Amino acid sequence: MKSPSAILATVCLLLAATAAAFDHARPGYQYEFPRDHFSHSTFKTEWWYYTGNLQTAEGRRFGFELTFFRYAINEQGGDSAWDIRDIYPAHLTLSDIDGGKFFKTDRLNRQGPGLAGADTEQARIWNGNWEVQWLDPASDKSPQRLKAYADDFSLEFTLTPAKPPVIHGLNGVSQKAAGEGQASHYISFTRLEVTGSIALNNQNFPVTGQAWMDHEFSTDSLGPNQTGWDWMSIQLDDQSELMLYRMRRSDGSTDPYSSGTYIDPKGRAQHLDWAQIRMTPIEGSHWKSPATGGLYPLKWQVEIPDLEIRLDCATDLEDQEVVSRKQLGPSYWEGAMNFKGHREGRPISATGYLEMTGYDKPLTIGPSK
Amino acid sequence: MRLFQQIRPAPFDKLKAEPSPAEIPRALPMPLLRLDNVTKHYRADNQDVVALDAVTLDAEPGEFLSIVGRSGCGKTTLLNLAGAMDFPSAGSVHINGVVTSGLADAELTAIRRKYVGFVFQFFQLLPTLSVRENVELPLLLAGQTANTQQAIERLEWVEMADYAKRLPHQLSGGQMQRVAIARALVHSPKLLLADEPIGNLDSTSAEIVMNLLRRTADELKTTILMATHSQEAARITDRIVALRDGRIEEIRRP
Amino acid sequence: MTAALTLFIRLIVRPLGREPGRTALTIFAIALGVAVVVAIHLAGTAATGSFQSSLETLTGDADLEISTVGGLDDALLASLQALPYPVRFSPRIEGFAMIEPQKVSIPVFGFDLIGDRSLESMAPPKSFDLDSLTRHDIIWAGSGVASEKGQQLRLTINDQTATYTVGGILETTSSQGAPRPNFIVMDIAAAQKAFSKQGRLDSIEVFLPERDDRRRNDRDWEALISAALPAGVTLKPKGSRTTENRTMMSAFRWNIQVLSYISLVVGAFLIYNTIAISVVRRRGEIGVMRALGAGRAAVTLAFLAEAAFLGAMGTALGLLLGRIMANGTVEMLAATVRSLYVSSTPGEILFTPDVVVVAVVSGMGVSLLAALAPASEAARVPPSEAMARGRHETAARLATGRRLIYAGLLAVASWGAAQLEPIGGMPLFGYLSALLIIAAAACATPAIVDRLAQWLSPVLRAAFGAQGILAPRSLSASLARTSVLVAALSTAVAMLVSVAIMVGSYRDTVIVWLNERLQADFYIQAAGQREARQYPTIDPAIADRIEALPEVQAVDRFRGYPVYYNGRPSILGAGQSEVLSRLGNLGFLDGSPPQQVLAKLGSSDHVIITETFANHHRLNVGDTLQLPLGGQLVDLAIIGIYYDYSSEGGAAIVDRKTMLKYLSDPSPSNLAIYLADGANPESARAAIENATSGFSVTLADHRTLRERALVVFDRTFTITYALEVIAILVAILGMAGALVALVIDRRRELGVLRFLGASAGQIRQLILFESGLIGLFSNTIGLALGTVLSLILIFVVNKQSFGWTIQFHWPIALLLGALTLIYVAAILAGIYPARVAVRLNPIEVVHEE
């Protein structure tokens, strides 16, 4: 459940497109792959989110995020390739954890004559020269080739799923709020083995590691009073994974529709509802963003009593805040994390990503004035 | 004294041959030149300078008057007033019976063309014109056409006809002054005004020029007013007018 | 130092102050000369510098540009954007819209308003709300076009007129003083539709990264990107188009610039004259100064300082005046640029340091150079010099023979220079030839003036008496001075005459050509834009409908594309050679019958080219022209070169079938309509208008078209004439000043004349006679010199810089009128000196010593 950038789009478009004409995420949706890895134009909002923790043979650590968004703004479209039906924002970040630097960049396109898209036939999700290509789309463990080029750095990876895709939530639906349809269809590759290279500062770093991919599509999934959220992906070294999110409400409470998923080493998913989850920010661990003034808790404690998992979560790079250009979208913190703790009494560690939104100011939905 | 010897009115009809300048007003019977209580002031360096002070003088046809005095005593001013080149500040100048005061430039020009000839100390021949052309000039300026003959005649009279085609700078000073006299007389003026005509000449040339002037007065009956420093020259004139500080000190016969 | 200063004050400053009128006239004459140079420089830069500026303030400078004839397939953009490089590719649609009803034409740019980051320098920041982007009737207007959001504009684009709503105002955030953006931006989707360019892009701008992790340089990038481009698509450094346009206009600017210096050349004569007068008049003073111990150098310096002083005053005033004149000039030049070269809006007139440098160098330089001769002559005045007048004039009279020899040598050199080839496309030797013949004429002038004065003397005497004899004499006598005046004025007259002959000949040639060329009864083009190298298209259905009319025998569909060939902007056109050969006319250089050549044109990949195109690219019949068309390089065999005066860049014409083979767009840009025999033109016009209803097109008969062409032609040369007139004005002003000096020098003589019976009127007449004679002499010499100059202009300068064949022709009425006016003006120039002469007090001037 990662919607920070949803807000970016909502800046302009929510008024424009009438939600009624779009499909909403409803229980009983029939998933079909590889079709459901790609675009769902009958839903208004869709994104593909790649994050990962990587390192070189020498142990230099990197984190990355590559996100493709699709927002429908004019369901009719038009007869010319350039007529705008959807817009495609995309974000790319690189966390040079040991170098202590965070690189971020973004772009926006329309489909145009093939400028951006997520196409089943081509088995490709792309935005300019940022792209993910399925090499063997028929297989649910198809390797994916990820490429992204920015002024400062570039990424070229092969991502191989260690487990088949996971469908979050119950009955094919990940509920975000109480209302009907305030939900999404949410698919993840929770463990992608990464090999490839990062080019940075005229240097090429061969890297390996693990990535996570979320794909979510929905129409107006957010409820009222939701001012932000915290989301985590956790890849434990016992080959299991956790996905957790907490929806924060304007009164400071947590929306009970917050939830999570546990994926066991064999790839079986288990829905966790909010009552089964403890995710607590640690007092005094806050980092104040010089850019936005947002106050982000960078240390967390995570507990899943039913699974006897207890983890301390921290990061080695404070500034992993994605500050939106031109103040058009909200800013958010999204960074590589490491986890240490115990499971069933044995020590355990993990890597993952943490996303925090609504800390610089409450999230508002609708055009910003 | 030959006062009022020949009193006759100006021949007006002849003046009308020339359309411009304008007509000369009718005159009363008078001597050819009369200066009546003439005063002339100048403003120079913001100071009033009295150049002539209550000068009264008559001159008859054929009379040769010399005006003597120191530099700045008013000789030149007197000549200019007598030649209708300037107006008096007070009093009146009568030329052939016409009062110059109040006349327009065109009328003054007409008087000069008809009655007045000038001779200058520095000859003032036009360097670009030949001797003959210089002599013709007053006739041409007066709008007369067939005048070459007249010019040649005058040159013969001053004995310079042989030099008719020369340019002024090819002549000596005395020759130039003779040409200048021919030029001043080409239109048979009644009044010849000569300002230091021998002031720039050697004594031989001066003598020739003075004889020429004497003959002019005697034979052509031209009234001559000559400003000069030379006592010798003044001696052959009819009367000597001595000026001092703009006033007539005395009028005497040589 | 102090001695020189004393000299300068004694010899120069005081006398200048004593004659404020004459000093002012000289300064003003120089100022005018400098002003013209400055104005043309400023206006030229503003008028031609603008086609790149407005967009670049908007987008920043792209590094490279991708383009091809007929536009790029927009799928190319997707493949480029997918290249693994941190390079931005920004698609562009470019065109023009006509604002209705004012008919003001402004550039329209289609941008990818979603993806393109190049608009970020605009204020307010990229606030294109997405809703507006989905509509095709929303435009973003520069603050020079519209003032507020929501405003409605009616625009004609190509053959459609529609109402657009301003979605926002664009303002540059760059430096203040920059021109207000005078263009319209549309989203690319809307722009493609409006310009009927679906699926096509006019260009893709390439922005290279500022830093690059692999340290690739511009050449590396060019190679990498070129490798990704199909054949027939060109990648060029951005700005090369601007450079190419500039290059093409450089001949035009050059010629205007050169013409602008004429006034200064005329001014040089006047400075020479002024200084020479000063020297002659102050010989006595110089002698005294020398006797008191002043060195030669000090005397020379004093007079050079006088020239420098006059030059400096003139330059300062000229800069000011030039800036003012530039205002009026810029639109004149811009109109020419638009109609002949490239569509552009004039930019801001910028007072850059180089303009000041040009002004100072030309104003001061000319002044000092012209003063060199008289100033060094002043140094030769011996301390014993008496005040003898006339010596100098005699010397000048004696030197006329030697000067005639110089004149002959210069004339031979001029003839030689005219035979030489241009340098870098610039007819530099042509200009040199012109300059040499002017110098030759100047050298011959004293002899001519002297001779003419002698001849005229008896005639004038017979006709006018004293003044008739005095005027030519005094001109001959002051030959050294009067001949300079005559040289100055006759140079100005000659330039006017030569330009009048050249333009008149050119115009005549064009009229003949137009009559021959415009054989169709009606012509149609889109109402959108009709300036240089713009070919807005019209719906092909219009042509079909018109062709189906019973009144119409045939329609020739023409389509033009702006192309760049060998770095020169030109036109690639396609017409229906079958129709043209049957009903039209075309004159070929080698005299081939048009039917024969045109029949061959349709049969294969053949092309015919214009005379200018052939000249500039040194092409001949039988050569091959290679052009990138529709993604491939096409070899076209040249089968004919034809006369054409429509564009300087020239054109290459293929048959419509050939064009459609490579470029699929069937939309024509122009239609030539031939009526059936016996069809009534009025009813045919009505039928055609009916067939085009609903489209914004202009229908014109051949007469209207011809008139329109001549309007453009005349507008082009307005400025040329203006320059000539100013040169004459300078000469006349200078003449007035110099005559005043002559009068003052001759004051004693004039005084004597008054004693001898000259009336004030006669003195006035005398001076007017002299100025009239100067005018007459100048006209005579100017007419002869001008005719020679016109030959140089037509057959050397024009041929080398533009490549046109012009038939020589005398515009007799124009010349007679101009010469009469100049004569009258010359006489009028005597009015002020005559007044000075009349006001002199004869008593004072005769007796002063």
Q: Is it the case that residue C125 has pLDDT exceeding 50?
A: no
Which of A113-117, A269-273, C595-599 bottoms out in mean pLDDT, i.e. has the lowest? C595-599
- Interchain CB distance below 8 Å, C86 and A114: no
* Residue A129 maps to a domain: yes
**In this structure, are C275 and C195 located in the same domain?**
no
- Interchain CB distance below 8 Å, A152 and C214: no
Query: What tokens appear for C404 in the block?
Result: 């005639």
CA distance B81 to B75: 10
According to the model, what pLDDT value does residue C212 have?
61
C738 touches chain B (CB under 8 A): no
Listed residues C180, C211, C237: the one ending a domain: C237
Best residue of A68, A82, A369 to probe chain C, by most C CBs closer than 10 Å: A82
Asked if C736 contacts C834 with a C-beta cutoff of 8 angstroms, the reply is no
According to the model, what pLDDT value does residue B27 have?
47
At B168-224, the pLDDT tens digits run 888 888 888 889 888 888 888 888 888 888 888 888 888 888 888 888 888 888 888
Handedness of CA C23, C24, C28, C29 (dihedral sign): negative
Q: Is it the case that residue A369 has pLDDT exceeding 70?
A: no
Q: Which residues of B touch C759 (CB under 8 A)?
A: 20-21, 105-106, 109, 141
Mean pLDDT of C419-445: 86
Task: Using alpha carbons, select from C408, C362, C335, C367 the residue that is nearest to residue C105.
Answer: C335
Cis peptide before B21 (omega within 30 of 0): yes
In sequence order, what DSSP letters do the residues of C375-393 get, joined into one string? HHHHHT--TT-----SHHH
Mean pLDDT of C519-535: 78
At C191-216, the pLDDT tens digits run 999 998 888 998 898 988 876 656 67
At A274-308, the pLDDT tens digits run 999 999 999 989 999 998 888 999 999 999 999 99
CA distance C687 to C691: 6
Mean pLDDT of C767-792: 89
CA distance C170 to C143: 6
**Beta pairing, strands A183-200 & A203-218:** antiparallel
Asked if C556 contacts C576 with a C-beta cutoff of 8 angstroms, the reply is yes
**In this structure, are C34 and C123 located in the same domain?**
no
Rg (CA), chain B: 18
* Residue A80 maps to a domain: yes
**In this structure, are C74 and C100 located in the same domain?**
yes
- With contact defined as 3+ CB pairs under 8 Å, the chains touching C are A, B
Q: Is it the case that residue C123 has pLDDT exceeding 50?
A: no
At C249-258, the pLDDT tens digits run 666 777 777 7
What are the b/e assignments for A118-157, b being 16+ CB within 10 Å? beeeebbbbbbbbbbbbeebeeeebbbebbbbbebbbbeb
Asked if B16 contacts B23 with a C-beta cutoff of 8 angstroms, the reply is yes
Mean pLDDT of C705-722: 82
- With contact defined as 3+ CB pairs under 8 Å, the chains touching B are C
**In this structure, are C167 and C218 located in the same domain?**
yes
**In this structure, are C224 and C251 located in the same domain?**
no
Q: Which domain holds residue A8?
A: 4-357
A30 touches chain C (CB under 8 A): no
Give the bridge partners for A349, in sequence order: A340
* Residue C782 maps to a domain: no
- HEC assignment per residue over A293-310: CCEEECCEEEEEHHHCEE
Q: Which residues of B touch C753 (CB under 8 A)?
A: 126, 137, 141
CA distance C638 to C632: 19
Q: DSSP letter at C521?
A: S
CA distance C249 to C344: 13
Give the pLDDT band (50/70/90) at residue B231.
Answer: confident
Mean pLDDT of C590-596: 87
Interface of chain C toward chain A, CB-CB under 8 angstroms: 74-75, 77-79, 81-86, 112, 114-115, 125-126, 129-131, 133-134, 187-189, 192-193, 198-199, 209-215
The number of helices, as runs of H, and strands, as runs of E, in chain A is 1, 25
Task: Using alpha carbons, select from B47, B60, B76 the residue that is nearest to residue B193.
Answer: B76
**In this structure, are C188 and C170 located in the same domain?**
yes
CA distance A211 to B174: 127
Q: Which residues of B touch C388 (CB under 8 A)?
A: none
- Interchain CB distance below 8 Å, C82 and A201: no
CATH of the domain at A111: 2.40.370.10
Handedness of CA B230, B235, B239, B241 (dihedral sign): positive
* Residue A365 maps to a domain: no
Q: Which of A270-284, C48-62, C105-119, C656-670 is modeled with the greatest confidence?
A: A270-284
Question: Whole-model pTM above 0.95?
Answer: no
- Interchain CB distance below 8 Å, B129 and C473: yes
> Please, what is the average pLDDT of chain A?
87
> Please, what is the average pLDDT of chain C?
82
* Residue A110 maps to a domain: yes
**In this structure, are C254 and C227 located in the same domain?**
no
Mean pLDDT of C837-845: 82
**Beta pairing, strands A183-200 & A153-161:** antiparallel
**In this structure, are C40 and C90 located in the same domain?**
no
Q: Is it the case that residue C242 has pLDDT exceeding 70?
A: no
Alpha helices in chain A (DSSP H): 4-13
Instruction: Give the closest of A73, A110, A151 to C211, CB-based.
Output: A151
Mean pLDDT of B119-137: 84
At C722-773, the pLDDT tens digits run 877 888 888 788 778 778 877 877 888 888 888 888 888 888 888 888 888 8
Between the alpha carbon of residue B22 and those of residues B15, B19, B99, B102, C803, the distances in Å are 9, 7, 15, 13, 66
Q: How far apart are the first and last CA of chain C?
A: 32
CA distance B99 to B81: 11
CA distance B219 to B96: 19
Q: Do chains A and B touch (3 or more CB pairs under 8 A)?
A: no
Q: Which domain holds residue C29?
A: 1-53+246-388
- Interchain CB distance below 8 Å, A112 and C193: no
Domain count, chain C: 3
Query: What tokens appear for C494 in the block?
Result: 């000659």
Best residue of C131, C196, C211 to probe chain A, by most A CBs closer than 10 Å: C131
Instruction: Give the closest of A83, A201, A326 to C125, CB-based.
Output: A326
Looking at CA atoms only, how far is residue A335 from chain C in angstroms? 24
Share of chain A above pLDDT 70, in %: 91
When comparing pLDDT for A19 and A258, which is higher?
A258
At C253-309, the pLDDT tens digits run 777 777 788 778 777 877 777 777 777 777 777 777 777 777 788 888 888 888 888
Listed residues C635, C668, C695: the one ending a domain: C695
According to the model, what pLDDT value does residue C386 have?
43
SS3 A210: strand
Give the pLDDT band (50/70/90) at residue A36.
Answer: very high
When comparing pLDDT for C633 and B146, which is higher?
C633
According to the model, what pLDDT value does residue C177 have?
54
According to the model, what pLDDT value does residue C287 have?
76
Domain count, chain A: 1
- Interchain CB distance below 8 Å, C760 and B85: no
Mean pLDDT of B86-112: 83
> Tell me, what's the ipTM?
0.89
* Residue ranges with strand state E in chain B: 33-44, 47-59, 64-68, 90-95, 98-99, 116-119, 191-195, 223-227, 239-244, 247-252
Q: Is it the case that residue A352 has pLDDT exceeding 90?
A: yes
CA distance C174 to C143: 14
Q: How far apart are the first and last CA of chain B?
A: 14
Which of A142-156, B107-121, B211-225, C12-26 bottoms out in mean pLDDT, i.e. has the lowest? C12-26
At C810-825, the pLDDT tens digits run 888 888 888 888 888 8
In sequence order, what DSSP letters do the residues of C15-48 get, joined into one string? HHHH-HHHHHHHHHHHHHHHHHHHHHHHHHHHHH
> Please, what is the average pLDDT of chain B?
79
Asked if C792 contacts C441 with a C-beta cutoff of 8 angstroms, the reply is no
Count the Cβ atoms, other than its own, within 10 Å of residue C361. 12
Mean pLDDT of A85-100: 92
According to the model, what pLDDT value does residue B9 have?
33
Query: What tokens appear for A197 in the block?
Result: 């290279």
At B46-63, the pLDDT tens digits run 778 888 888 888 888 888
Residues 6+ apart with CB under 8 A from B78: B35, B52, B55, B57, B67, B225, B227, B243
Count the Cβ atoms, other than its own, within 10 Å of residue A353. 27
CA distance C505 to C67: 40
Give the pLDDT band (50/70/90) at residue C169.
Answer: confident
- Interchain CB distance below 8 Å, C759 and B109: yes
Mean pLDDT of A138-145: 91
Looking at CA atoms only, how far is residue A208 from chain C in angstroms? 21
Mean pLDDT of A142-165: 95
Looking at CA atoms only, how far is residue B115 from chain C in angstroms? 10
Instruction: Give the closest of C760, C762, C843 to B86, CB-based.
Output: C843
Q: Is it the case that residue C454 has pLDDT exceeding 90?
A: no
Give the pLDDT band (50/70/90) at residue C173.
Answer: low
Asked if B208 contacts B220 with a C-beta cutoff of 8 angstroms, the reply is no
Instruction: Give the closest of B20, B86, B137 to C759, CB-based.
Output: B20
Which contacts qualify for C240-245: CB closer than 8 Å, 24 or more apart? C240/C65, C240/C567, C241/C52, C241/C65, C241/C564, C241/C569, C242/C51, C242/C52, C243/C567, C244/C564, C244/C567, C244/C568, C244/C569, C245/C48, C245/C51, C245/C341, C245/C342, C245/C569
Q: Which residues of C touch B138 (CB under 8 A)?
A: 756-757
- HEC assignment per residue over B172-225: CHHHHHHHHHHHHHCCCCCEEEEECCCCCCCHHHHHHHHHHHHHHHHHCCCEEE
**In this structure, are C212 and C260 located in the same domain?**
no
User: How much helix, strand and coil, in percent to the nearest 5, is found in chain A?
Assistant: 5, 50, 40
| Domain B30-252: which CATH number of 1.10.10.10, 3.40.50.300, 3.30.930.10, 3.40.605.10 | 3.40.50.300
- Interchain CB distance below 8 Å, A110 and C115: yes
* Residue A351 maps to a domain: yes
- Give Cα C224 distance to the centre of its chain: 42
C622 touches chain B (CB under 8 A): no
**In this structure, are C128 and C152 located in the same domain?**
yes
